[in-house]
Structure 1
Amino acid sequence: MTLEQLAIFVAVAEREHITRAAEAINMTPSAVSSAIKALETSHGIRLFERVGRGIELSGVGQAFLPEARRTLSAARQAAGLLDDLGGLRAGHISIHASQTIANYWLPPRMLGFAKRYSGISIAFEAGNTKSVAKAVLEGDAEIGFIEGSIDEPALDPTHVYSDELVAVVSKSTHTLPANPTALDAYRWIVREKGSGTRTEFEHGLGAIGLTVADFDVALTLPTNEAVLNAVLNSSSAAALSRLVVAPFLASGQLRLLDVTLPPRHFTMLHHKERRLSAAAKAFKQICVAPELASRAR
């Protein structure tokens, strides 16, 4: 059994799909299938069962998955120690981030890091707040970035940025009165439950005495870009990060509703019981010191 086989097994187990797992770990589906078959053959077990046209974990696979994750996490910790001893000349860092951060805030900081530490490779995956926290808890990500906060005692949070949620409509939509209670006169496009944007929007509404249940929700969509395009092509409203809507406000394609939502924080997470590698510490420094990111672009 090799670490590569373990990583392939975990990727397939988490997705229960050969092709999606192959895409996530940058391999061909045939190579992934061969690795799983070799692992099963060498130990005389079945890790997956065919169900219709799909696959799912067998009982053996379900029992093995936690140990496979622990082993990979320990291997990453050992590799991180060697990277530290090498003085950041080579190494690897795994980062997960929720969508707004992944698409709008994190890329320039990743670029700044890559220019300063060209020998450190970055594995990056976007998700939502719940999936990012889960990845850090299970050791799939050394650090994670979420919008807002999460109640998880095992994770150590660090505030890295203050963001602003704004409520917007397309330029062709009529203006509502300034009274915040008028927000329920709109149809709304909202993000899915579990996303940082949705959670922080609900918190903001609570501060002005409203809930999402008070609204006529036309659509619930899984990405900022889907929400944004729906709003641009309808008379519906949405709450999105100012980072997302800034170009459309500047061009006049969107207009702000007269409501103030409380600021939200972007938070970096790492596991309290796992040593933060030198590479992760360097990345954290770039995130909390904006001048380092801009200087390195």
Structure 2
Amino acid sequence: MHTMWKGSISFGLVNIPIKLHAATEDRDIKLRTLHNECHTPLKYEKVCPSCDREVKNEEIVRAYEYTKGKFVVLDNDDLEKLKKENEEKAVEIIDFVKIEEIDPIYFNRSYFMSPHEGGGKAYSLLRRALEDSKKVGLAKIVIRSKEQLAVIRVYENTLVMETIHYPDEVRKANDVPNVPEGENVTDRELATAILLIDQLTTEFVPEKYTDDYRTALLEMIEAKRAGREVVAPAAKEQPSNVTDLMAALQASIDRTKPKKPVAAKKKAAARKKKQA
């Protein structure tokens, strides 16, 4: 597994040399853009609209636009120095909290943590302490020139660091338009909705869920590559715009009821015939 960061993590006076490894991967299918006439991949050039010419990499500088059309230019050497100074710092756990106190909206990206040379025992100590205390560590780390707030927790006997957003990076829910203020649902509607939830409730098994769009796209690509006819998948049943909420809930419940086996239906029918 590729190492993307080396450093150390500390809590109190305990220092643990560690490595970071990406815990997730983007499985999206990347499509190229081609010229329709000759199927040549297109190039995207950096062009200055004022000078009307292509700009080379060595001519490019970075800047912050503090107001429309006005910039503060930042020197690459200064940015690299700042980045190096921060990346050399150890990851310090600043607090321990219960993970239930952190809303999932804050979570961003996950990384596996492995012990570096000589860090095995301290790694095991932190892992056991987190498990027994049922707490997670809150830490700060600089990754790719950005200081991140992070949660350190245990996942399948491995320490995981999950970067989380700062509060000012999460937009206010109050700003969402057209959210109804009051509850204008009836007791019957609520009871029926809860019944539907109960019928659809199951254990979370990650392997059960697949990316149907990606699978269909790969099948289409393979069919085209092999020169076969592309067959469109059967259209899924679309929910209707039912204005009667109770009717929609009842229809949903009827659709999710477990179906009786055919044999059981035949036995029941035979029993009724005998009784008659």
Q: Tell me the TM-score normalised to structure 1 length.
A: 0.19
The higher relative CO (CA closer than 8 Å, separation ≥ 6) is in 1
